[in-house]
Amino acid sequence: MPLLHTLFLLFTAAAAVPAPQAESSSPASSSSVTTTLVSSSVTASASSTSSAAASVCSGNTASDRSVWCDYSIDTDWYTDGPDTGVTVEYWLEVTNVTLAPDGVDRIVLAVNGTVPGPTIEANWGDTVVIHVTNSLANNGSGIHWHGIRQNYTNQEDGVPSITQCPIAPGDFLTYTWKATQYGTSWYHSHYSLQAWEGVFGPIVIHGPATADYDEELDTVMLVDWSHDTVDSLYSYAQTQGPPTMDTGLINGMNEYNGSGSRYEATFESGKKYLIRLINGAIDTHFKFSIDNHNITVIASDFVPITPFTTDVLDITMGQRYDIIVEANQDTADYWMRAIPQAACSSNGDSDNIRAIIRYDNSSTSDPTTSAWDYTDACDDVDLSNLVPYLSQTVTDPTGSDLTVSVTTNSENLFKWQIGLESMAVQWAEPSLLQIYEGNATFEDDDCVYELPDANTWVYWVIEAAIPVPHPIHLHGHDFFILAAEQSASYDSSVTLNLDNPPRRDVANLPASGYLVIAFLTDNPGVWLMHCHIGWHTSEGLALQFVERESEIPALVNYDSANATCAAWDSWVAESGIVEEDSGV
């Protein structure tokens, strides 16, 4: 099918953008360089990603990935790191298109017309500038750079109702942030359910690693997929619970009922490949595997870890893993699998969400390999395996409780909540602006938790009585996982792990259990914490931390914020659109 072929080429091109400053001055240079990635991306070949990245910082080679210019895997990136002086700039357009990622046509809201959208790629220490144009006719937008710490740049976090008004149709907004971390993430719309209509794409920040590899493959983005738009499924979700998804996509491709085509990658025997894995699903916990091959995990979200090896890897919504896979099997074709876990996800095509790894790239036949054994369950990776390479200790944290629950409102629609109430914030009154204008009057349904003290450790005991796991995501920070347990309630006998616990930005709240997370109040701003199941975010399972409120106004670019709100207000007046979800 021509359409799919085009999509595949677009994806390949997007994933193969050479590392941004490959042609510019050395990272040590303080001069400001603006590199435009767009034109070079189309002709780049798949292998240039790794070679360009490797050439960026001399010393970072296949036999030693621990070094990075004058910095290394030992650098404490929370307080230190390169300042390359390089600015990488992207233009993204949110569009309304018809695509058939798995051979079945549907309306897709997409970034630059593809699913996933273009990869945002930079080097550790670069400044990233992204101009987002909303070319949709009937939706606002707002792009969140998931996992990006936004150190003192809260306004760039991209969350309507919290850090900005939605971008009105026809309007655009420029986001600017520094890549103070390195590794893998993704960007996605934070407006309504738009992310899961297709408005998402990968983020790759090149930097050092805790294990060596020869080459880097494309990012591998896993999503679940329905043939109806998620907007049209929302009323079902609000009354019956999460709908069964039809299938899933790996890098925007799959076969469904004999049509469509699968994503393919080629291995050269003997080489070790870095693969960056991302779960962008609306409601699917995947087990990821490659038949016959082990997986060595070297980073969880943006945090490098002491490597561990497994055959099947759990990845829940919003999480990322950087993995290394060695081409140590016979020359043949192998299935790559993303298997929705029935314990918490409902999918009509569970055994068929697959891509292909070929050792011999002239082969066109389907693999005949079998999956590794696994037990269907929605567990996070065993926490004892997630040992951050850069050790950090939590000291004297002060704690509070947050309860997760669900009720139905007067219209019999599901409303989830964490803490105070089910979130209901207003698109046109972002918290950040309310604070700037000095008229913040937060009500219970704004779900605000004030954290006035700087550089103190706070911890939160998140508990749920209902047997549904929730992937909890925090903006603006990595959190430290002090404890987690399924089918158990928290009490004073639980030992909190304060000594280099797992650290990341999404963790699973186990079914009928508890999750205890801590973070340092080192980043003034209004930061959302929410469940990353798309339905649950829209149904209110979110809160906002107002961190160091007195320091926030000085960080706000008021003219930009006010202009976005002005355009939004006039579009609302014209279109008569009414907010029907949590506002995030």
Ligand X SMILES: *[C@@H]1O[C@H](CO)[C@@H](O)[C@H](O)[C@H]1NC(C)=O
What mask, x for binding ligand X by CB under 6 A, covers residues 188 to 207?
A: ----x---------------
Selection from Cu ion, ligand X, none that 262 binds (CB < 5 to 8 A by kind) is: none
Instruction: Give CA–CA dist 574/181, Å, rounded.
Output: 41
Strands (E), 433-478: 448-451, 457-464, 470-474
Report how far apart, in Å, the C-alpha atoms of 422 and of each of 280, 442, 547, 582 are.
24, 14, 20, 8
Of 327 and 531, CB closest to Cu ion? 531
Applying CB under 6 A, among 31, 43, 63, 79 the residue interacting with ligand X is: 79
| 493 φ, ψ (degrees, to nearest 5) | -80, -10
Minimum distance between the CB of residue 269 and ligand X, rounded to whole angstroms?
A: 12
Minimum distance between the CB of residue 514 and ligand X, rounded to whole angstroms?
A: 31
Residues 497-526 that bind ligand X (CB under 6 A): none
Total residues found in the chain within this entry: 584
What does 372-408 look like in DSSP terms, one character per residue?
Answer: PP-----PPSPGGG--BSS--B--S-EEEEEEEEEEE
Applying CB under 6 A, which part among 339-347, 434-442, 462-470, 529-537 lies near ligand X? Answer: 434-442
Task: State whether the Cα torsion 203-208-210-213 is positive or negative.
Answer: positive
Minimum distance between the CB of residue 401 and ligand X, rounded to whole angstroms?
A: 30
Of 361 and 391, CB closest to ligand X? 361
Report how far apart, in Å, the C-alpha atoms of 431 and of each of 227, 352, 419, 530 are.
36, 43, 18, 16
Check binding of 378 to Cu ion (CB under 5 A): no
Q: Which of 397, 403, 404 is nearest to 518 (CA)?
A: 397
Q: Which of 297, 460, 462, 476 is nearest to 394 (CA)?
A: 460
Applying CB under 6 A, among 22, 33, 46, 498 the residue interacting with ligand X is: 46
* Total site size for ligand X, rule CB under 6 A: 39
Selection from Cu ion, ligand X, none that 21 binds (CB < 5 to 8 A by kind) is: none
Applying CB under 6 A, among 68, 71, 90, 449 the residue interacting with ligand X is: 90
Check binding of 533 to Cu ion (CB under 5 A): yes
Check binding of 210 to ligand X (CB under 6 A): no
Applying CB under 6 A, among 38, 62, 465, 466 the residue interacting with ligand X is: 38
Q: How many CB atoms lie within 10 A of CB 23?
A: 11
Check binding of 296 to ligand X (CB under 6 A): no
Minimum distance between the CB of residue 90 and ligand X, rounded to whole angstroms?
A: 5
CA 352 to chain centre: 24
Check binding of 347 to ligand X (CB under 6 A): no
Check binding of 91 to ligand X (CB under 6 A): yes
Helix, strand, or coil here: 205?
strand
Selection from Cu ion, ligand X, none that 470 binds (CB < 5 to 8 A by kind) is: Cu ion
Residues 93-112 that bind ligand X (CB under 6 A): 93, 96, 107, 109, 112
Of 22 and 343, CB closest to ligand X? 22
**Stretch (H or E) spanning 355:** strand 354-358
Of 15 and 209, CB closest to ligand X? 15
Residues 6+ apart with CB under 8 A from 573: none
Residues 304-333 that bind ligand X (CB under 6 A): 309, 328
Of 148 and 533, CB closest to Cu ion? 533
Strand partners, 144: 188
| 37 φ, ψ (degrees, to nearest 5) | -90, -15
**Burial grade of 410 (CB within 10 A; 0-12, 13-18, 19 or more):** exposed
- Please report which residue ranges of 32-117 form alpha helices under DSSP H: 38-41, 48-56
Minimum distance between the CB of residue 512 and ligand X, rounded to whole angstroms?
A: 32
Half-sphere exposure of 309 (CA within 13 A, CB side): 5
Minimum distance between the CB of residue 543 and ligand X, rounded to whole angstroms?
A: 19
Cis bond before residue 116 (omega within 30° of 0):
yes
What mask, x for binding Cu ion by CB under 5 A, covers residues 459 to 488?
A: -----------x------------------
Q: For binding to ligand X (CB under 6 A), which residues are involved?
A: 38, 46, 79, 81, 90-93, 96, 107, 109, 112, 118, 136-139, 151-152, 180, 192, 231, 257-258, 266, 293-294, 309, 328, 361, 429, 433-434, 437, 439, 562, 566, 569, 577
